[in-house]
Amino acid sequence: MVDHEVRLPDGSRSRYVVDESVPFSVASLIIVGDDVLLARQYRYPLDRWIHDLPGGAGRTDEAPLDAARRELEEELGIVPDDLRPLHTFFMNPGRASWPTHLFISTRGLRPGLADLSDPAEQVRLERIPLSELDALIVSGAIVDPPLIVARAVAAAQGILPPLGVANE
Protein backbone atom coordinates (compact mmCIF):
# COMPACT_ATOMS: atom_id res chain seq x y z
CA MET A 1 0.00 0.00 0.00
CA VAL A 2 1.30 3.42 -0.97
CA ASP A 3 0.12 6.59 0.74
CA HIS A 4 -0.43 9.45 -1.72
CA GLU A 5 -1.11 13.15 -1.20
CA VAL A 6 -3.54 13.99 -4.01
CA ARG A 7 -5.37 16.96 -5.49
CA LEU A 8 -8.95 15.99 -6.32
CA PRO A 9 -10.89 17.27 -9.37
CA ASP A 10 -12.57 19.99 -7.26
CA GLY A 11 -9.13 21.29 -6.21
CA SER A 12 -9.22 19.99 -2.64
CA ARG A 13 -6.35 17.96 -1.22
CA SER A 14 -6.61 14.53 0.36
CA ARG A 15 -4.58 11.47 1.28
CA TYR A 16 -5.21 8.30 -0.67
CA VAL A 17 -3.87 4.81 0.07
CA VAL A 18 -3.41 2.78 -3.13
CA ASP A 19 -2.49 -0.88 -3.59
CA GLU A 20 0.41 -0.83 -6.05
CA SER A 21 1.70 -4.27 -5.04
CA VAL A 22 1.57 -5.88 -8.49
CA PRO A 23 1.63 -4.60 -12.09
CA PHE A 24 -1.50 -6.60 -13.01
CA SER A 25 -3.38 -9.79 -12.27
CA VAL A 26 -4.69 -12.52 -14.57
CA ALA A 27 -7.42 -15.15 -14.47
CA SER A 28 -8.55 -17.69 -17.06
CA LEU A 29 -11.91 -19.25 -17.85
CA ILE A 30 -11.37 -22.72 -19.32
CA ILE A 31 -14.34 -24.30 -21.10
CA VAL A 32 -14.39 -27.99 -22.03
CA GLY A 33 -17.62 -28.91 -23.82
CA ASP A 34 -20.48 -28.05 -21.44
CA ASP A 35 -18.13 -27.88 -18.45
CA VAL A 36 -15.77 -25.34 -16.92
CA LEU A 37 -12.45 -26.08 -15.24
CA LEU A 38 -12.10 -24.22 -11.97
CA ALA A 39 -9.62 -24.01 -9.17
CA ARG A 40 -10.91 -25.14 -5.78
CA GLN A 41 -8.73 -23.26 -3.31
CA TYR A 42 -8.50 -22.69 0.40
CA ARG A 43 -8.58 -18.94 0.97
CA TYR A 44 -7.23 -18.01 4.38
CA PRO A 45 -8.88 -14.54 4.62
CA LEU A 46 -12.29 -16.24 4.20
CA ASP A 47 -11.25 -19.37 6.15
CA ARG A 48 -12.93 -21.61 3.60
CA TRP A 49 -12.59 -23.42 0.29
CA ILE A 50 -13.95 -21.56 -2.74
CA HIS A 51 -14.26 -22.05 -6.48
CA ASP A 52 -12.33 -19.47 -8.44
CA LEU A 53 -10.59 -18.97 -11.72
CA PRO A 54 -6.97 -20.04 -11.88
CA GLY A 55 -4.80 -16.96 -11.91
CA GLY A 56 -2.62 -14.65 -9.92
CA ALA A 57 -0.25 -11.73 -10.04
CA GLY A 58 1.68 -10.83 -13.13
CA ARG A 59 5.36 -9.99 -13.08
CA THR A 60 6.87 -6.78 -14.43
CA ASP A 61 8.91 -8.76 -16.96
CA GLU A 62 6.02 -10.74 -18.50
CA ALA A 63 3.05 -10.04 -20.72
CA PRO A 64 -0.42 -10.75 -19.30
CA LEU A 65 -0.96 -13.71 -21.69
CA ASP A 66 2.32 -15.27 -20.56
CA ALA A 67 1.34 -14.78 -16.92
CA ALA A 68 -2.03 -16.45 -17.54
CA ARG A 69 -0.33 -19.44 -19.18
CA ARG A 70 2.16 -19.69 -16.31
CA GLU A 71 -0.59 -19.56 -13.67
CA LEU A 72 -2.68 -22.23 -15.42
CA GLU A 73 0.24 -24.62 -15.54
CA GLU A 74 1.46 -23.85 -12.01
CA GLU A 75 -1.96 -24.09 -10.35
CA LEU A 76 -3.80 -26.73 -12.37
CA GLY A 77 -1.16 -28.48 -14.45
CA ILE A 78 -2.82 -27.62 -17.76
CA VAL A 79 -1.57 -25.88 -20.91
CA PRO A 80 -4.27 -24.45 -23.23
CA ASP A 81 -3.58 -24.22 -26.96
CA ASP A 82 -6.02 -21.37 -27.65
CA LEU A 83 -5.85 -19.04 -24.64
CA ARG A 84 -7.02 -15.61 -25.76
CA PRO A 85 -8.05 -12.29 -24.19
CA LEU A 86 -11.63 -12.04 -22.93
CA HIS A 87 -11.86 -8.79 -20.95
CA THR A 88 -9.90 -6.40 -18.75
CA PHE A 89 -11.35 -4.73 -15.66
CA PHE A 90 -10.26 -3.18 -12.37
CA MET A 91 -11.22 -5.36 -9.42
CA ASN A 92 -11.03 -2.60 -6.81
CA PRO A 93 -10.72 0.80 -8.52
CA GLY A 94 -11.14 2.61 -5.22
CA ARG A 95 -7.93 1.12 -3.81
CA ALA A 96 -5.90 -0.72 -6.45
CA SER A 97 -4.18 0.74 -9.50
CA TRP A 98 -3.69 -2.52 -11.38
CA PRO A 99 -5.98 -4.19 -13.94
CA THR A 100 -7.17 -7.78 -14.01
CA HIS A 101 -6.82 -9.37 -17.45
CA LEU A 102 -9.27 -12.20 -18.14
CA PHE A 103 -8.52 -14.89 -20.69
CA ILE A 104 -10.59 -17.73 -22.14
CA SER A 105 -9.90 -21.10 -23.72
CA THR A 106 -12.53 -23.23 -25.44
CA ARG A 107 -10.43 -25.99 -26.99
CA GLY A 108 -7.07 -27.71 -27.01
CA LEU A 109 -5.78 -28.56 -23.53
CA ARG A 110 -2.56 -30.43 -22.88
CA PRO A 111 -1.20 -31.69 -19.57
CA GLY A 112 1.48 -29.54 -17.98
CA LEU A 113 3.42 -29.64 -14.74
CA ALA A 114 1.69 -28.20 -11.67
CA ASP A 115 3.92 -26.48 -9.12
CA LEU A 116 3.20 -28.10 -5.76
CA SER A 117 6.13 -26.49 -3.92
CA ASP A 118 4.17 -23.77 -2.07
CA PRO A 119 2.35 -25.27 0.94
CA ALA A 120 0.23 -22.10 1.24
CA GLU A 121 -1.31 -22.82 -2.17
CA GLN A 122 -3.95 -25.46 -1.54
CA VAL A 123 -5.40 -25.86 -5.05
CA ARG A 124 -7.38 -28.61 -6.77
CA LEU A 125 -8.69 -28.78 -10.32
CA GLU A 126 -12.46 -29.27 -10.51
CA ARG A 127 -14.53 -29.80 -13.63
CA ILE A 128 -18.14 -28.74 -13.19
CA PRO A 129 -21.05 -28.39 -15.60
CA LEU A 130 -21.81 -24.84 -16.71
CA SER A 131 -25.36 -25.26 -15.36
CA GLU A 132 -23.91 -26.04 -11.91
CA LEU A 133 -21.64 -22.98 -12.08
CA ASP A 134 -24.67 -20.84 -12.93
CA ALA A 135 -26.59 -22.26 -9.95
CA LEU A 136 -23.61 -21.54 -7.67
CA ILE A 137 -23.41 -17.95 -8.94
CA VAL A 138 -27.15 -17.36 -8.44
CA SER A 139 -27.07 -18.87 -4.93
CA GLY A 140 -24.18 -16.62 -3.88
CA ALA A 141 -21.77 -19.51 -3.39
CA ILE A 142 -19.35 -18.08 -5.97
CA VAL A 143 -17.50 -15.16 -4.34
CA ASP A 144 -14.64 -14.74 -6.83
CA PRO A 145 -15.20 -11.50 -8.82
CA PRO A 146 -13.11 -12.56 -11.86
CA LEU A 147 -15.17 -15.76 -12.21
CA ILE A 148 -18.45 -13.83 -12.12
CA VAL A 149 -17.17 -11.18 -14.56
CA ALA A 150 -15.73 -13.80 -16.94
CA ARG A 151 -19.02 -15.74 -16.95
CA ALA A 152 -21.01 -12.57 -17.71
CA VAL A 153 -18.63 -11.34 -20.44
CA ALA A 154 -18.47 -14.77 -22.11
CA ALA A 155 -22.28 -14.74 -22.27
CA ALA A 156 -22.39 -11.14 -23.54
CA GLN A 157 -19.93 -12.05 -26.31
CA GLY A 158 -21.98 -15.12 -27.31
CA ILE A 159 -19.26 -17.58 -26.26
CA LEU A 160 -21.51 -19.06 -23.56
CA PRO A 161 -25.29 -19.02 -23.19
CA PRO A 162 -26.82 -16.41 -20.87
CA LEU A 163 -26.60 -17.11 -17.15
CA GLY A 164 -29.11 -19.77 -16.17
CA VAL A 165 -29.74 -20.97 -19.75
CA ALA A 166 -26.95 -23.60 -19.87
CA ASN A 167 -28.21 -27.10 -20.74
CA GLU A 168 -31.88 -26.08 -20.84
In a domain, residue 135? The reply is yes
In a domain, residue 17? The reply is yes
Q: What is the pTM of this model?
A: 0.91
In a domain, residue 98? The reply is yes
In a domain, residue 168? The reply is no
What local confidence, expressed as pLDDT, does residue 120 receive? 76
What local confidence, expressed as pLDDT, does residue 159 receive? 97
Nearest CA-CA partner of 85 in 61, 97, 69, 74: 69
Nearest CA-CA partner of 37 in 118, 92, 108: 108
What local confidence, expressed as pLDDT, does residue 166 receive? 62
Domain of 96: which CATH number?
3.90.79.10
Q: At residue 131, what is the residue type?
A: S
In a domain, residue 142? The reply is yes
What local confidence, expressed as pLDDT, does residue 168 receive? 53
What local confidence, expressed as pLDDT, does residue 20 receive? 86
pLDDT < 50: residue spans in the chain: none
Structural domain for 77, as ranges: 2-156
In a domain, residue 109? The reply is yes
In a domain, residue 151? The reply is yes
